[in-house]
Each structure stands twice: as structure tokens, then as C-alpha cells.
Structure 1
Amino acid sequence: MNKTGNSAFLKFVLLCSGSFVSAIGSGITSFGLGVYVFEKTGLASSGTLITLLAFLPGLLLAPFAGVLADRYDRRLLMILGDGFSAFGLVYILICLSAGEARLWQIGIGVTVSSVFSSLVEPSFRATVTDLLTEEEYSKASGLVQLSGSAKFLVSPLIAGFLLRVSDIRLLLMIDICTIFVTVSVTLAVRKGLIPKVSQVQNSFLKEFRTGMTALAKNRGVLALVLSGIGISFFLGCIQSLYTPMILGFTDSSMLGIATTVSASGMLVSSLLLGMISVKKSFTKVLTASLFLAGLFMAGFGLRENMILICSFGFLFFSMLPFANMSLDYLIRTNIPNDVQGRVWGLIGIISQLGYVLAYSTLGPLADFVFIPMLIPKGLLAGSVGKIIGTESSRGIGLLIILAGFLLCVAAILLYHIKSIRELENGGDVCIES
């Protein structure tokens, strides 16, 4: 690699470092709010409601953020998105300073933060393409996922410990401080980097249609994105319900430990992807990792046993970087760079509709259907309950088990879609150190 290439990759590493710090901060807040809301209400549906409010605005605004990422300086958009997202956190902190924050107040705060954070993701993904060569994409994917894993790996341990000595307000203040770090790093990366922006300033509607056209004309990419709706629904099950499942029989400190141990699987896989370069058979890697993730997800919900939960959680998370890397490569190499901001925005809103469905339905489904069926003398206590138990969180466990098996089915169906397999040439997986 030449000097210019080295400089670009160093900028990418610096950007990932800022993302790592940001992920720690947002992870601390996410963990703390999840525990706070569940302890105040005792309902899984309250936690999934807050998750939905934090997720939905950013998802709906993603296509518009994608247009902005192709039209304006992508690094500037990241700075504005990160910086203004602090307003939502400050609002929740003010509400807490007056006593307790109500559920609707927390909802407003996370919604405001999500609106501004929506500017970051399309710009960040497009910046990766600006800085790196195609040969560096798979390694870059591993480093990106490594920075993102901090939300699950580092944050829960920190938050679980801090909640024993302080309260949610300290967690929010730490998150606000990490935003300043992230903005400073992005400013440093932006210095000396020529913005790649569109020279033709079309209307937002026309830009949006351009992104839609680029996505729709590639049948394989479109099929992959649509398949992501089902995949994200099943993944959303464990993401939205693991907190109430574990808090149903232990405390927040053990939840933090379980989350960190489980997420270390993502760390191991991300480090591996950062050291090797996958060259072929991305479709096979994708479907195999999703199938195994489904099996491990089912094991995660099997019993109220921390060793079992941590073991299957570790294996589940270890599969996600391989799936994400494969998805990222198959899409990135089949979409022109000049429309990637718009396309990534569209991909975000389409493929993650499954998360919206999961966050809006699974909480009430767990509280009012599955949990009552697996309490002592419940409808399934004498059958399924003899296998997985009949404690307070066993209904949630059953829901996670079912979602895991359905993810396995989705992975098998995905592999048999011809247009997706044609996104690359067939062959065995080839890796280089």
C-alpha cells in the first residue's frame, strides 16, 4: 500500500476509534434506561416501547440522511448528527433531576436523540467507501463491527457496576461526554480530506428516486435487502427481550456480566475478520452464520442458567460479524459509490422494518401471552414447562427459542434464492492473513 493509502487507512482506524467511544457511551445509556424502565414498570412491553421510540425515527429518516450523505460533506453530517443527539440525553437528565422521569419523558428524549443520530450511519458507511479500496472492505468490516461491539461488550460491565454505586443520571452524563470525544475525532479525520459530494443538486425526491432505481435494478441486492426484514425481526426478538428475561431471575449486575460475556463472541469474530480477508463465497458464509446464530439463539432461551445463557450468548454473537461482513460486501460491491449514501439509507429503512415489528409486538406478546402460559399452572406448564421451566421469565425464553428456529429456516430459504447467489462467483471460502 502506498503512502496515500496508508494515510487513508489510518484515518479510517481513527474514525473507528471515535465510533468505539461513541458506542460505549450509547451502550451505557441504553443499558441503564432498559434497567430503569423495567424496574419501574415490571413489564417487557415498556422496555420494547422505549427501544421502538429510540429506533423508529432514525429508521424513517435514514433515506433522507442518505441523500444528504451524497449531497454534502459526509464528515460534517456525522459531526452534526453526533453533536445534536446530546439534546435528547440532556432532556432526560433534566427530567431525572426533578425526581423520576416518566415513561413518556424518556420516550421524548430517546426520540430526539434518534432523529439527529440518523445523520450518522449513512455518512459513516459511505465514508468507509471514500477512504478504502475494495480489497480492504472485509478487514474494514471487522474493525467497524469491533467498534460497534463496545455497546454490548464494554458498556454493560461499566453500567452494571455504576448502577450499584450511583444511578441512571451518571450514565447519561458519561454518554454526553463521549459525544464530545466522537465529534473531536471526526473533525480530525475531516481535516485534509476532500469532501466527495454530488455536483448536481437535484431535489430530494429526485435523489430519493435515484437511490431507489439503483437498488431496484439489482435484483440480487433487492432480494437480499427484502430478506433482511425477516432476519431483523428474529434478531430483534433476542435484542428486545434478553433484558427482561435475565432480570426476571437476577439483578442488573449479573445482566451486565451476561451481556459482556455474550458479546465477547462478537469481539473474537471481529478481531478475526480484522486479521484475515475473506475472498469468496460470501453467500455461503452469510447463510451458514445465520443458521448457526438461530441455533445458538434457541439455546440462549432454554433455561434460567447463567452459564448456559452466557455460553449460547457468546456463540450467538460470534456469528453476527460474519453475517454482517457478508451482507456489507455483497451490497457494497454491487452498488456504485456515487449513490451509496442514498442506497444505504434505503437499505436501512427496508431491511430493518423487521426490528420495528419486533419492538412493537414482542413485548406485549411476551407479557400477555407467553409469560402466562409458562407460569406454574399455566397452559404449557405441564408440557413445555417440564423442559424449559415454569419461572417468571420462561415465557420470554420460549419466544426467543421459537424465533431462533425460525431464523434457521430463514437462512435455508435465503441460500436458495438464485439472484442472491449470483451477486458473486461460487467457490470455497478463501482467506488471507
Structure 2
Amino acid sequence: MQRTAAKTAFTNVLLNTLIANVTTSFLWFALTFWVYIETRSVLATGIIGGAYMLFIAFFAMIFGTIVDRHRKHTVMLLSSVISAAAFLVAGVLYLWQPEAALLDLGGPWFWLFALVILLVEEDKRANANGLVGTVQGLAFLVTSVFSGLSIGFLGMGWTLAIAIAAMALTFVHLLFIRIPEGTPEPDPTASSALDFRGSVKAIRLAPGLFALIIFSTFNNLIGGVYMALMDPYGLTLFDAQTWGFALAFASTGFLIGGGLVAKFGLGAKPMRTLLLIVMAMGLLGAVFMLREWWPLYVIGMWMYMALVPPAEAAEQTIIQKVVPFDRQGRVFGVAAAMEAAAAPVTAFLIAPIAEFLIIPYMRTPEGDRHWGWLLGEGEARGIALICLFAGLIMVVAGGLAFLTRSYRKLTDLYAHAPAQEAGEGEVDAIASPSLEAAPSGASAPIDPVSARGGRAGADGIEAPGDDRA
């Protein structure tokens, strides 16, 4: 009976996760599409993406500690209430101010409107790595299509109305879910509600783990380039509706990548797997814009997105293995905060550089003479040049990481670390019936920021305790 209740609760949580992630991603995609179509400003989309990641960085550690210290059902309800309230405020602003004021980058209403929407971070539910990763991939696919169609045919007003209604539905659904979970026991060594000191201590106890987080942070510096430029490039090749379908096709790469990880795992050395994947992603990012040809871009994105689940899962699996279970939420929070804080730095820097320097330069005869042999002709050759160098830097960084002492230490620690056991009654146990056939490392949750290169690990704040590679 208890096992049946656990399965039912897990299914309900999974369904709620799907609706919540479709809703939040739907509005985030729609905002990006709407702003770029109306303004044609790479600067605006870069700042929107960077602001989104800044909020994730700010709240990640806080939510990591909350997840460790409170019932998961309570945290999920709180998340839904905050999301619905933010969407309602955005709807009021949209009705109150004319679109011209909301699209004026020099005015306050644009930034307030974007700020309210971006405050709603992707929901972090109980992570059954395989099934939730698949749900996130499906959510990305559905979101891509409906965001493009909604902006193309309905406009931003009706898009907001749909998001508000869907978020209210997730809240009502949560009220009827009963999760068999115990009351989390407070960590007696935690010095504060945020417990930054305890998080750092847990990281330092695992030799090489801090270097892994630093590497992912650096990787996110490069990923910020793609986060700022992928949508403007796609909306140069397609209209909003077609771009939505193109993203939906590319997002099926999530499902393939997650399925392959669930089937075959990450190998005995997930750190090596992570570095090889990062190098492959860099190579793809360097070449999928070499010509302004939509099949090259869409297929390249599909391959890039197929590599996101194993990259996310590799870092999660390492942390799950080498960090004590009762501190994993805080460690994931610190990692997510550091990594998420890196992408906005690049996004904020590259967006104005691209809009005011590189894109205009590549439209001049001099730019065409120097780079036309490599990048061909088209409207977005400046974006292609930036992504070429960003991808090559990522390849070099991944290769150099193989030569470091931290890589060897962390690989050895992972190989000899004892298994981490989840506490009895934890919400993660809900997933056990579905995880018995899936190796650890099955795909971690995927969100629009990861898909655009904005995050390369530690996506989940709470993760299962299974540590098998």
C-alpha cells in the first residue's frame, strides 16, 4: 500500500512539474521572442537572459537550504504562489502601460515588466533523474512551439493570460497531492539559515570538487555568449512561429541524450565524460553558424542539446557521490549560484559589443574581406564570428582541464567514495520504483537557459542519492 501511494505521489509530482515548467518556460521564451521581434535588439535579449541568470544565482543558495530544511510539498506550494503572483503583476503592468512604453529600453517600464517575469525561476522538483529529465525535455519541446505560435498569432497580452491560468492550475493541483515524506531534521552544525559556511566545508572535504565548480563556472562564461545570441540568430533566419517549431525539433535532442544516459549511464569516470562532452559542445557551437543556412543551424542545435543532459547529469552524479546526502542541497545551491552568476557577466558584456561593434563591422566591406571566406554571407555574420571564437575557447578549456591535478584527484575520489544513502522517508524515495531500472546519471532537469548554453551543471538543487555511474 505504501509503495502504491509513493508511485501515485511521484506521478502527480511529475505531472505538476510538467505543467509548471511548461508555464514558466513558455513565458520566458515568449518574452525573449516578443522583445527581439519588436526591437531587433541583441542588447535587449542579452540583458534579459543575463538578468534571468542573475536571479537564479541570487536565489539558488537560499532555495538549496530551504529544500534541505523543509517539507518538499511546502516548498512546491510556495514556489507556485510566488510564480502566480509574479505573473499577475506582469499582467497588470501590461494592461496599465501601452506596448510602446513596455518596449522602450530607455524607460523604466520595460525593465520592470521583464523583471517581474524573470523573477520566476525554473521549478526545482524532486529529481528522479531519468523521468524528470524526460519531462523537462518534453516541456522544452511544447514550450518552443506554443511560445512562437502564441507571440505570432495572439500577442503578449494573451500569452500572459495563458501563463497566469496555467500557474493557478498547478497551485490547485498541488493542494490535492499528498507526498509521503518525513520532517527534515535540522543540521546541528549549520550556523545560519543560509549556511554558506557549511556548504563551503562540504565542498572542501571533496578534493577537486571546487575545481569542478570553477570549471563549470568558466564554461558558463562562454555559455553566456550562446544565451545572448542564439535567439536573435534564430529569429533572423525564421519568423517567430517557425523558430518555435525549429526549437521544438532541436529540443528532441534532450530526449535522445537523456534516453542514452538512462540506458548506458555515464561510464566509470563521469568527470572524463563531462570534459569530453564540453569539448564536443564547444566544437558544435563553433561550427553550426559557419554558414547562414537553417539546416546547419537546426541540426547543430539538435546535436548540442543532445549533449546537455549527459553534461548536466555528469556533474550531478559526481556531487551526489562525493558529498554527504544531508548537505547536497546546499552544495548544489552554491554550485548553481556560482555557475549561474558567470553567464550574465558574458551576456551583459557580449550583447552591447555584438550590437554596436561586431555586427556592424561584419556588414562592412572590410569585415567581409577578412572573414567572408570562413563565414560566408548573410545578415548575422557578426553573431557567427562571436560564436566561432566562443566555441573554440570552450574546446581548449576542456582539453586543458584533463591535464590538471584536480581532475585526477576528483576522478580518484569518485572511484573510491562510499555510496550516499538518502534518509528514510525523504521525497526522493518516491522515485525509487521508477529508478530501479535506470542508472544514476540519467538526465538532469533541462531548462531554456541550459539549452542556450547558460548553465553546464548543478542544475538541480535537490538530487537523488543514487550514486551508480
- Is 1:280 the equivalent of 2:268? yes
Name the stretch that deviates more: 181-190 or 239-248: 181-190
User: Are the equivalent residues in 2 in contact too, given 1:301–1:309 (CA < 8 A)?
Assistant: yes
- Output one character per residue of 1:141-194: Cα deviation in whole Å (capped at 9) or x when no partner: 233322223453221211222233211122222222332343345445543322
Map 1:188-337 onto structure 2 (within 5 A): 188-198=176-186, 200=188, 203-204=191-192, 207-278=195-266, 280-337=268-325
For the structure 1 residues 344 and 10, does the alpha-carbon distance in structure 2 shift closer, same or farther, using more than 3 Å as the test? farther
Maintained 8 Å contact 1:300/1:313: yes
Match of 2:410 among 413, 420, 426: 420
Judging changes above 3 Å, is the alpha-carbon distance between structure 1 residues 95 and 115 closer, same or farther for their aligned structure 2 residues?
Answer: closer
Residues 113-192 of structure 1: pairs in structure 2 closer than 5 A: 113-115=117-119, 117=121, 120-121=123-124, 124=125, 127-128=126-127, 140-192=128-180
- Specify the SS of the correspondent of 1:333: helix
Alpha carbons of structure 1 residues 418 and 212: separation in structure 2 relative to 1, 3 Å: same
Shift of 1:325: 0.9
Asked if structure 1 preserves the Cα contact closer than 8 Å seen for 2:289 and 2:297, the reply is: yes
Give the aligned partner of residue 400 of structure 1.
387
| Alignment match of 1:58 (pick from 53, 56, 72) | 56
Displacement, 1:424? 2.3
Gap change, CA 1:217 and 1:247, over 3 Å in 2: same
| Partners of 2:225 and 2:322 in 1: CA distance | 30
Gap runs ≥5 in structure 1: 129-139
- 1:206-229 deviations in whole A, cap 9, x for unaligned? 722111211122222211111111
Out of 103, 108, 111, the position equivalent to 2:112 is: 108
1:406 deviation in Å? 1.5
Q: Residue type matched to 2:387 in 1?
A: I
Following the alignment from structure 1 to structure 2, what is the Cα–Cα distance between the partners of residues 206 and 17? Answer: 30
Flag the 1:391–1:345 CA change in 2: closer, same or farther, 3 A: same
Q: CA deviation at 1:368?
A: 1.7
User: How far apart in 2 are the matches of 1:61 and 1:432?
Assistant: 31
* Residue in structure 1 matching 2:37, options 23, 39, 49: 39
C-alpha distance 113-215 of structure 1, shift in aligned 2 (>3 A) = farther
Could you tell me which amino acid in structure 2 is paired with residue 36 of structure 1? W
| Highest RCO, 1 vs 2 (Cα 8 Å, sep ≥ 6) | 2
Retained in 2: the 8 A contact 1:225–1:351? yes
Quickly say closer, same or farther: Cα 1:302–1:185, change in 2 above 3 A.
farther
The amino acid that maps onto 1:422 is D
Residues 330-349 of structure 1 aligned to structure 2 (within 5 Å):
330-349=318-337
- TM-score of the pair, normalised by structure 1: 0.86
**Count of equivalent residues:** 410
Supply the distance in 1 between the matched residues of 2:208 and 2:11 (Cα, whole angstroms): 31
User: Structure 1 residues 275, 6: CA separation in 2 closer, same or farther (over 3 Å shift)?
Assistant: farther
**What's the TM-score once normalised by structure 2's chain length?**
0.80
SS at match of 1:380: helix
Mapped partners of 2:192, 2:63: distance in 1: 10
Partner residue, 1:410: 397
Structure 1 contact 294–405 (Cα < 8 Å) conserved: yes
Q: What is the identity, as a one-letter code, of the residue corresponding to 1:391?
A: G
Distance in 2 between residues matched to 1:206 and 1:393, nearest whole Å: 44
Letter in 1 for 2:322: N
Q: What code does the residue aligned with 1:141 have?
A: N
Over 3 Å counting, the alpha-carbon distance change for 1:9 and 1:404 in structure 2 is farther
Check conservation: 1:269, 1:321, Cα contact below 8 A.
Answer: yes
Alpha-carbon contact 2:202-2:327 (below 8 Å) kept: yes
Separation of aligned partners in 2, 1:314 and 1:422: 33
Shift of 1:327: 0.8
- Deviations along 1:6-25, one digit per CA (max 9) or x if unpaired, are 75465445423322222211
Residues 1:288 and 1:13: Cα distance change in structure 2 (over 3 Å): farther
Structure 1's 162 and 156: CA in aligned 2 closer, same or farther, altered over 3 A? same
Moved more, 108-117 or 394-403: 108-117
8 Å Cα contact 2:21/2:136 also seen in 1: yes
Deviations 1:65-122 (A, max 9, x none): 222222222331222122212222222222222421245434334434554648x53x
Q: Is the 8 A contact 1:153 1:259 kept in 2?
A: yes
Q: Which has the larger share of helix? A: 1
Partner of 2:373: 386
Looking at structure 2, the residues matched to 26 and 336 of structure 1 have their Cα atoms a distance apart, in angstroms, of 31
Structure 2 residue aligned with 1:135 = none
Paired amino acid for 2:68: D
Whole-Å separation in 1 of the counterparts to 2:36 and 2:49: 12
Residue 132 of structure 1 corresponds to none
Is the alpha carbon distance of 1:168 and 1:319 closer, same or farther for their aligned partners in structure 2, counting shifts above 3 Å? same
Deviation, 1:360, is 1.2
Give the CA deviation at 1:199: 6.0
Q: Which moved more, 1:359-368 or 1:162-171?
A: 162-171
Q: 8 Å contact 1:67–1:208 — kept in the other structure? A: no
Identity of aligned residues (%): 21
Matched residue SS, 1:381: helix
Instruction: Summarize deviations over 1:246-272 as a string: whole Å, max 9, x none.
Output: 222431122112211222111211233
> What displacement does 1:203 show?
4.9
Distance in 1, Cα, partners of 2:203 & 2:327 = 10
Please name the residue that 2:94 is paired with: 96
The AA in structure 2 aligned to 1:65 is F
Three-state SS of the structure 1 residue aligned to 2:414 is coil
Closer/same/farther in 2, CA of residues 329 and 51 from structure 1, 3 Å limit: same
The Cα RMSD (Å) is 2.6
- Look up the match of 1:136: none
* Per-residue deviation, 1:53: 2.2
| AA aligned opposite 1:375 | R
For 2:393 and 2:139, locate their aligned partners in 1 and report how far apart those are by CA, in whole Å. Answer: 26
Q: Is the CA contact (8 Å cut-off) linking 1:89 and 1:110 kept in structure 2?
A: no
Distance 2:395 2:172 in 1: 42
Q: Which residue among 82, 85, 105 is the counterpart of 1:84?
A: 82
